[in-house]
């Protein structure tokens, strides 16, 4: 029983850690896709959590049933034609972009807090990342098992501090007093959920095959999605009550934590950086493995190719990348989501009656 609970915890933390990444941990993603839509942003985040559970469960079931090892395997199974290949290419481009955004975010984070050049922050991320990149799935699990609880505790602490010392600012009257800056929360939610599901598939597929038990994966995904939803709701609350100042910063959560002193801000800085790091490693690992299999390039060489491309793209700036690239890839990821849904319902009987391994 304890062993099973441990595996559920591991799946949940890897799920959260993979999706959190640079944009969400910094508050920039939530600002862009939710906070600007006013009170309806909270409903959008809850809808996003439900979407994660449904789609991630489908991907996990397909992966376990067909014993798949990478997101490209999923593409080949659900769409063995030109559309599948197109989606596979888009997924690789997305993950490279995600890695680039994280490198840019690391640079922006270090620059905002210490005032040193952004490129230094990106290079620090790369140096530490290379050290861990050759670790297997167990390494990723261990990293997230430490980082995700740290993120939950830190954000919970900041939220409690707001409810304790800033009761008026987190009141319903104050929250509802901020008018929406944009309309179209439904479309924004679908885009956000779509690209996060696509991003998570790079880790969900090999993790599902390794765990082997469908029940363990589904429960882990549900726990992870609920935990992630609560995290996002807390971040959205903190960002909402700090409008309009948050729109001036590339790392808005650091501004939010600033009122409680340098120690809390420094703690958040470390947690954000660690979350960026865990996602960076999973993104580069997923792409490098796919390149190795598709182009017969050695894994170690593929790592440096991917890092080189990601570093180049990251120089466009953290905020610009999230604003322009994320919506585009969110839209394209809906192709993948649609293919998964169609495939699942075509093979629902066999995927729903899989025997559990002991």
Lowest mean pLDDT among 2-6, 129-133, 155-159: 129-133
Mean pLDDT of 149-170: 84
For a pLDDT cut of 90, what percent of the chain falls above it?
A: 12
What per-residue confidence (pLDDT) applies to 46? 95
What per-residue confidence (pLDDT) applies to 91? 76
- Which CATH number does the domain housing residue 231 bear? 1.20.1740.10
Quick check: is 327 in a domain?
yes
Residues with Cβ < 8 Å from 208, sequence gap 6 or more? 59, 60, 63, 64, 68, 217
For a pLDDT cut of 70, what percent of the chain falls above it?
A: 92
Quick check: is 84 in a domain?
yes
Supply the range of the domain harboring residue 55. 2-342
Quick check: is 351 in a domain?
no
pLDDT of 148 over the 60 cut: yes
pLDDT tens column, 250-288: 778 888 888 887 888 888 878 878 877 888 888 887 888
pLDDT of 84 over the 60 cut: yes
Mean pLDDT, rounded, of the chain: 82
Quick check: is 143 in a domain?
yes
pLDDT tens column, 301-324: 888 888 888 888 777 755 565 566
pLDDT of 227 over the 60 cut: yes
Quick check: is 116 in a domain?
yes
Per-residue confidence at 325, pLDDT binned at 50, 70, 90?
low
d(C-alpha 125, C-alpha 103), whole Å: 7
Quick check: is 347 in a domain?
no
Quick check: is 352 in a domain?
no
pLDDT of 76 over the 90 cut: no
Please give the tally of structural domains in the chain.
Answer: 1
Lowest mean pLDDT among 52-56, 93-97, 231-235, 304-308: 93-97
Query: What is the 8-class DSSP label of residue 244?
Result: T
Quick check: is 354 in a domain?
no
Mean pLDDT of 336-344: 86
- ∠ CA 53-141-207, rounded to 5°: 50
d(C-alpha 162, C-alpha 250), whole Å: 22
Per-residue confidence at 358, pLDDT binned at 50, 70, 90?
very low
What per-residue confidence (pLDDT) applies to 230? 93
- 261: helix, strand or coil: coil
pLDDT of 12 over the 80 cut: yes
d(C-alpha 145, C-alpha 188), whole Å: 30
Residues with Cβ < 8 Å from 103, sequence gap 6 or more? 122, 125, 126, 280, 310, 311, 314
* pTM for the full predicted model: 0.85
């Amino acid at each position: 029983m304890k062993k099973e609970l441990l595996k559920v915890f591991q799946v949940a933390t890897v799920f959260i850690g993979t999706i959190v990444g640079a944009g969400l941990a910094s508050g920039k993603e939530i600002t862009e896709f939710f906070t600007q839509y006013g009170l309806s942003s909270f409903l959008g985040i809850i809808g996003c959590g439900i979407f994660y559970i449904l789609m991630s469960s489908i991907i996990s079931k397909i992966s376990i049933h067909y014993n798949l090892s990478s997101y490209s395997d999923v593409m080949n199974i659900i769409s063995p034609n030109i559309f599948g290949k197109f989606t596979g290419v888009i997924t690789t481009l997305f993950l490279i972009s995600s890695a680039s955004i994280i490198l840019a975010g690391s640079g922006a984070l270090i620059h905002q807090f210490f005032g040193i050049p952004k490129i230094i922050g990106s290079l620090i991320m790369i140096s530490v990342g290379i050290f861990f990149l050759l670790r297997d799935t167990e390494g990723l699990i261990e990293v997230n098992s430490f980082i995700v609880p740290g993120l939950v505790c830190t954000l919970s602490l900041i939220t409690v501090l707001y409810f304790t010392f800033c009761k008026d600012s987190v009141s319903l009257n104050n929250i509802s007093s901020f008018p929406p800056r944009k309309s179209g929360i439904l479309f924004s939610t679908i885009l956000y959920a779509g690209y996060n599901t696509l991003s998570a598939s790079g880790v969900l597929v090999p993790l599902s095959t390794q765990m082997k038990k469908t029940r363990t994966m589904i429960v882990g995904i549900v726990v992870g999605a609920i935990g992630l939803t609560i995290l996002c709701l807390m971040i959205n609350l903190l960002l909402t009550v700090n409008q309009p100042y948050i729109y001036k910063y590339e790392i808005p959560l650091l501004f939010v934590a600033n009122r409680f002193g340098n120690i809390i801000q420094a703690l958040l800085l470390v947690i954000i950086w660690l979350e960026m790091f865990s996602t960076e490693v999973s993104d580069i690992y997923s792409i490098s493995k796919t390149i190795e299999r598709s182009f017969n390039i050695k894994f170690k060489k593929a790592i440096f190719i991917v890092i080189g491309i990601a570093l180049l793209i990251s120089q466009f700036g953290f905020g610009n990348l999230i604003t322009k690239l994320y919506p585009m890839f969110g839209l394209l990821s809906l192709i993948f989501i649609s293919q998964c849904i169609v495939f699942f319902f075509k093979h629902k009987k066999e995927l729903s009656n899989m025997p559990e391994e002991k």
